Amino acid sequence: MSRKALFANLKPASASAAEIEATVNSENRPADDKSPVDPIRAARLRSRPILGAPELIRTTAAAPVGALGQSLSEFKAQSERALAIERQLAEGQAVVDLDPSLIDPSFVNDRMATTKEAHARLVEAIRDHGQQVPILVRPHPSKNGRYQVAYGHRRLRAALELQRAVRAVVKALSDDELVIAQGMENNERQDLSFIEKARFARGLEDRGFKRDTIMTALSVYKSDLSNMLSVVSKIPEDVVDAIGPALGIGRRGWIDLAERFSDPVVAKSVGDLISTPDFLALESDLRFRRAHAVARPSVEQPRFENWTTADGAKFAKIVQNAEKISVTIDRKVVPEFGDFILGRLQSLYEEFKSRQ
C-alpha cells in the first residue's frame, strides 16, 4: 500500500475548507452584510492545517500558538501511525485470514505426533474462543499461490478440521530465517521436548544447514547441540517414534539410554519391547521409562565367599557375579599361598582346556 493511499482517507481535524475560507474572507464581505464577525474563531480556523489542501493553510499574528502546536502534533501522530501501518504491511506483520488448504507444512518437522486428547482440546478451544494467536507463514518458495508454515502447525491442523480460515502473518522469509523463527517460537513456548529438539536439529543438519544456524534456531550451545545429535544418531528412529515426545524426560535420560544402544543385546531387547500392545498403550513418559528399564536391567548382586584355615582364620575372599570372579588372598595369614596359586595358574588353565 502506498503512502499516498494511506493518507487519502485521513480527515481534517476541524472545520471544512469552505467554512474556513468563508470566515477568513469575512473582512471582504459586501457593505450591506451587517452580520457580526467573530475574529477569534476566524483566527483559529486560519491556523489549523487542512490535509490535502495546503493552499488554504493561513496563519496570522493573532493565531494562538498553543492551538497551532497541538494541531501539528496531531498531524505528526497521524503521519507516524500511517507510516507504521505501511511498514507492517511491507514487513508482513499484518494479520490476515487464509484458506488453510493453501498452506503447506515446513520443510523440516519440529514436533512429534501429539495425542488425540491434546488435539481435541485445541480444536475445542479454537471453536469456542477463536484462534487467539496467529501462525507465521511465508509465500511458498516453489508453488505460486501457496504458503509454507514457519510455526503454528497444530493451529493450522485445527483450522483444517474446523473448516475455517486461519489467522496468519505472511512474511517473506529465507530458509534460514524460517527455521530460526520456527525454533525460537517453540523455545519461547517451552513445550518442545528434548528429543523433539534433537530430531529437529538432525533434520536441519541433514538439509545442509550450518551449525551456527541450528544453534540459533534452538537457542543452545555447541555442546548441547552435540549431545542432541549424538542421541538421535545412536537410538534407532523407530524406537524414538515408538516412545514419542516424552515431555517429562530431559537430556540426561536420553543420553543414558543412547549410550546403552552400543550393546546389541540392549538394542534387540528394546526393539522387541516397542512392538508390544502393552507398551504402545502407555503414556509417552512411561514408554520411555519402560524402554530405559529394559536397556538397563537390574545388576545381579555379587556373591561373597570366605576361605578359612583349619583354625578358622580367613585367608581368602572370593567375589563373583555373572561377569567375573575375584580372589583376594591375605598374605599376612598365608604368606606363600598366593605365590603357589600364581605358579600353578597357567598349568591349571592348560588342564582345563584339555578337558574341553
Find out whether 165 and 198 touch, Cβ atoms under 8 Å. Answer: no
197 shares its domain with 270: yes
Structural domain count, the chain: 4
240 shares its domain with 271: yes
Question: Sign of torsion, CA 341 347 352 353?
Answer: positive
199 shares its domain with 259: yes
Q: Identify the three-state secondary structure at position 42.
A: helix
72 shares its domain with 26: yes
> Which residues lie closer than 8 Å to 350 by C-beta, 6 or more apart?
none
Question: Among 43, 65, 91, which residue terminates a domain?
Answer: 91
Nearest of 205, 242, 201, 240 to residue 224 by alpha carbon? 201
Note if the pTM is more than 0.75.
Answer: no
96 shares its domain with 173: yes
142 shares its domain with 86: no
117 shares its domain with 169: yes
Q: Which residue has the cell 501511525?
A: 81
98 shares its domain with 48: no
pLDDT tens sequence across 80-134: 654 554 454 445 467 888 999 999 988 877 666 666 777 788 888 888 888 888 8
pLDDT tens sequence across 324-337: 889 899 988 888 88
- Work out the number of other CB atoms within 10 angstroms of the CB of residue 31: 5
pLDDT tens sequence across 127-182: 888 888 888 899 998 888 899 988 888 888 889 889 999 999 888 888 888 888 87
Return d(Cα 311, Cα 307) in angstroms, integer: 11
DSSP β-bridge partners for residue 166 = 98
The phi-psi region of residue 278 (left if phi > 0; otherwise alpha if psi is between -120 and 50; otherwise beta) is alpha
Residue 55's domain spans which residues? 3-91
